[in-house]
Structure 1
Amino acid sequence: MTFDSYTDVFDLDRLGFGEHFFAGERIDAVHVQSRNNQWYQHTGMEAACASVRAAVRGYDRVIAYGSSMGGYAALRLAGLVGARTVLALSPQWTIDWRRAPWERRWAENSRVFEDVWEGSVPPPPIDEAFVIFDPLLRDRRHVQGLEHEGFRFQRVEIPGGGHPVGGFLAEISLLRPAVLDVIAGRFNPGQWRQAALQQRATSAQALLAESSRVSKARIGRRLALLQRAAQIAPRDPIVLSRFALELAWAGRPADALAYHRQALEIQPGQPTLLMHLSCILEIAGDREGARRVMAEVCASPTSEFYRPRLNALMVPPAAGRQCPGWLRRMMGGRPSLLAGVNV
């Protein structure tokens, strides 16, 4: 049973998280979708979970699985859907700004977060649970919050794996065996973790995550890491786009646009890529072009994450300021936004 993660696509006809993978493996699965990015805080969620529980009642082994927002739901709703095993990749404890003011990655969602059932549904009575995450990120504080609240699981720490850690695991071909081993009840987290750590140096996703931890002042180091990532994964649009964004920040807008053009050729119209293009244009001084790109993103139903970017571009920049604060913060350490990880 899977729970979908944060999405830019609000059409419920989209594939569920891992749907293609489980169909290919001939594993029966129920996929829980969310119409928006409210961390499943919907009235009637408990009734919906009861329907799912009834649908899987005849199975001997039921596993809840999700990544990021989906990992949050898999852990918190496992008991309600009848799962006795959980696999959560980079889950949150909460995004409620009153409880986790340090969590700013989903600031717009945190600002309007409404606790519908989070505080009333207790930790589930499960047999085993595995939480795989990067302890170098804020994800560590989420894991600590979950433990403090009474959730019981095995930590599987992957330093440098990024958020969500599934992108790194898929790249090094260790996500599939982990999922299948958890399903079969034979997952060995210690042995599996060692195999994952040995492959960080050759992973584009790990290099992407490492670059986000390097100070903005060390632009040469950040560029070197992202260039290596682009060489390792020349067909990964997010890697190419992030490298392009860094090139723009380094004062190389022509090179930035060339790399970003490659990214959009691979995945046309992807909102995160278009946001990066808008950033590049703004850094290069084409504020009107940046605004038009963001207007295109926000013209269709999409994530609320992008609306503040368009709003910021509608306001004249402060005198003497080279770039807006949100852009400086993003370049200073925002985790990569991964798309297309569907295992």
Structure 2
Amino acid sequence: MHTNLFTGRDLALDVYSSNHPISIVTFEARNKHLDALKPGAFGPGFGKGRFAPQGFNEFIIRRSRNHWYQTSEMLAVAEIVNRVAAGTKVITYGGNMGGFAAINFSPLLRASAFIALSPLYDIQQGNEAGDTRWDGEGRLLDFQYNFIRAGECRKSQGYAFFCADGPDAIHAELIRRETGATLVPVPFGGHPCSFYLNDTYKLKPLVSEIASGSFDLDRFYAVLDQRTLDTHYPYERASILQERSGNIGEATRQARIAVSKNDGLKRLQVRLGNLLLKEGDLDGAEMAFKRAIGMRPVDPVAHIRLSYVYAARRNFDDAVAEMERAILMDPIRAEYHVRLGEWLVRKGDLVAAERAMMRAIELKPDAVVAPVRLKAIRLKMGALSILGRLRRN
């Protein structure tokens, strides 16, 4: 039975109750389309509908902004959860920002265990992890409810899953220092690692097993070993490493294998297109970028890369058109306007190129490239003007 238990400015709380002895409390991850201070629309909730069909009571904490749950409304929500979930075994669950919250608020929610995917220890400026990925939000927010950092989660138990190859490993070690977490490094996935876990072990059985006390770490790793080769992750990483070593042919081969394992993932198509462009296979690159655009038409990256294909063919009409599409999707990136200006110069439209460079300078006044390009354009315009007058005379 679904009930909305709370709706405030920052948080909303829903429950799907089935009178089960186990309650799963889920926290939403960070959403790059939301602001840290200004509320937007509430999301559907992390893992919505994943656990209630299995019989568990499913509490869904939804957020309207990227506040990292540093809001007094969290205290009111916790009080409601504690009252409604009284007498049940509580498990907290979330990823990224939600992973931080799953650990951070586990004592407040009287949780028996937390399940955190790619959790963060701290994101404030100058944080102990040395992580600057969320510096903007870390400067804006007052982390008055960082109970992990305050040492108030020492007795909290649970599992922290994270990609071993990246900065999340530093956060994980700090979390282990301040909690009773069992760290579970996984070989792939980056941040967040939830997609990798769902593509291999699957998240529903993972959470269900931990909640019911039947999770076995050795079996978990055995399943990962068995299933990972059927996913794109190892081939994508191999492609990246080969490209860094300058082995473009092998990088392309690995990228093709990755695409064959998951042909619906945009970033794999973009990676393959970039490698084919480096190899000079313009037809193959064009096809890869167009597939990426078909998967996500509103993403500017593939349009930009496709413009490079057209520019390599000296088809500057289409190169300009693709850059203009990218700018419509993300109009405040100065470097996009610089690239548009360069294509316009090659096309021969110096007036439009001048406008593009002036817009780039307006967006990023301290940039170096745009003023140099603008000066060159104006010199060329002046030279052409003089030449025109000489011809008329």
Task: Supply the distance in 1 between the matched residues of 2:93 and 2:59 (Cα, whole angstroms).
Answer: 10
CA offsets 1:73-102 (integer angstroms, 9 cap, x no match): 111111222322111111111222311474
Which is worse superposed, 113-122 or 247-256?
247-256
Rate the CA distance shift 1:279–1:41 in 2: closer, same or farther, 3 A: farther
CA offsets 1:4-54 (integer angstroms, 9 cap, x no match): 112245564532111132244343211122222342233443333333333
TM-score of the pair, normalised by structure 2: 0.66
Task: Supply the distance in 2 between the matched residues of 1:255 and 1:87 (Cα, whole angstroms).
Answer: 43
Rate the CA distance shift 1:214–1:114 in 2: closer, same or farther, 3 A: farther
Pair 1:233 & 2:262 matched? yes
Tell me if structure 1 keeps the 8 A contact 2:200–2:223: no
Task: Supply the distance in 1 between the matched residues of 2:136 and 2:330 (Cα, whole angstroms).
Answer: 17
- TM-superposed deviation, 1:202: 2.4
CA offsets 1:241-298 (integer angstroms, 9 cap, x no match): 44335545666565344223323434454xxxx1432552575565784464254257
Task: Supply the distance in 1 between the matched residues of 2:245 and 2:368 (Cα, whole angstroms).
Answer: 22
Higher relative contact order (CA 8 A, sep 6+): 1
Task: Supply the distance in 2 between the matched residues of 1:212 and 1:3 (Cα, whole angstroms).
Answer: 32
2:223 alignment partner, one of 191, 195, 206:
195
Rate the CA distance shift 1:76–1:210 in 2: closer, same or farther, 3 A: farther
Rate the CA distance shift 1:208–1:46 in 2: closer, same or farther, 3 A: farther
Rate the CA distance shift 1:74–1:219 in 2: closer, same or farther, 3 A: farther
Pair 1:138 & 2:167 matched? yes
Rate the CA distance shift 1:262–1:288 in 2: closer, same or farther, 3 A: closer
How well do the aligned residues superpose, as a CA RMSD in angstroms?
3.2
Rate the CA distance shift 1:109–1:235 in 2: closer, same or farther, 3 A: same
* Other-structure match for 1:17: 46
Task: Supply the distance in 1 between the matched residues of 2:368 and 2:195 (Cα, whole angstroms).
Answer: 37
Which is worse superposed, 87-96 or 274-283?
274-283
Task: Supply the distance in 1 between the matched residues of 2:292 and 2:53 (Cα, whole angstroms).
Answer: 28
Counterpart secondary structure, 2:89: coil
Pair 1:313 & 2:346 matched? no
- TM-superposed deviation, 1:180: 1.5
Pair 1:260 & 2:293 matched? no
Task: Supply the distance in 1 between the matched residues of 2:72 and 2:325 (Cα, whole angstroms).
Answer: 37
Task: Supply the distance in 1 between the matched residues of 2:322 and 2:173 (Cα, whole angstroms).
Answer: 43
Tell me if structure 1 keeps the 8 A contact 2:301–2:326: no
Pair 1:125 & 2:148 matched? no
Pair 1:178 & 2:203 matched? no
1:6 alignment partner, one of 7, 30, 52:
30
Q: Kindly indicate which of the two structures has a greater share of residues assigned to strand.
A: 2
Counterpart secondary structure, 2:114: strand
Task: Supply the distance in 2 between the matched residues of 1:244 and 1:106 (Cα, whole angstroms).
Answer: 29
Larger Rg: 2
- TM-superposed deviation, 1:207: 3.1
Counterpart secondary structure, 2:166: coil
Mind listing any 5+ residue stretches in structure 2 that lack a counterpart?
1-24, 35-39, 312-318, 338-359, 362-366, 371-393
- TM-superposed deviation, 1:167: 1.1
Counterpart AA for 1:2: T
Question: Where do residues 71-86 of structure 1 align in structure 2 (5 Å cutoff)?
Answer: 71-86=99-114
* Number of residue pairs matched by the alignment: 303
- TM-superposed deviation, 1:121: 7.1
Counterpart secondary structure, 2:68: coil
Counterpart secondary structure, 1:199: helix
Counterpart AA for 1:130: Y
Task: Supply the distance in 2 between the matched residues of 1:210 and 1:54 (Cα, whole angstroms).
Answer: 50
Tell me if structure 2 keeps the 8 A contact 1:281–1:287: no
Rate the CA distance shift 1:16–1:217 in 2: closer, same or farther, 3 A: same
Which is worse superposed, 157-166 or 40-49?
40-49
Task: Supply the distance in 2 between the matched residues of 1:39 and 1:233 (Cα, whole angstroms).
Answer: 32
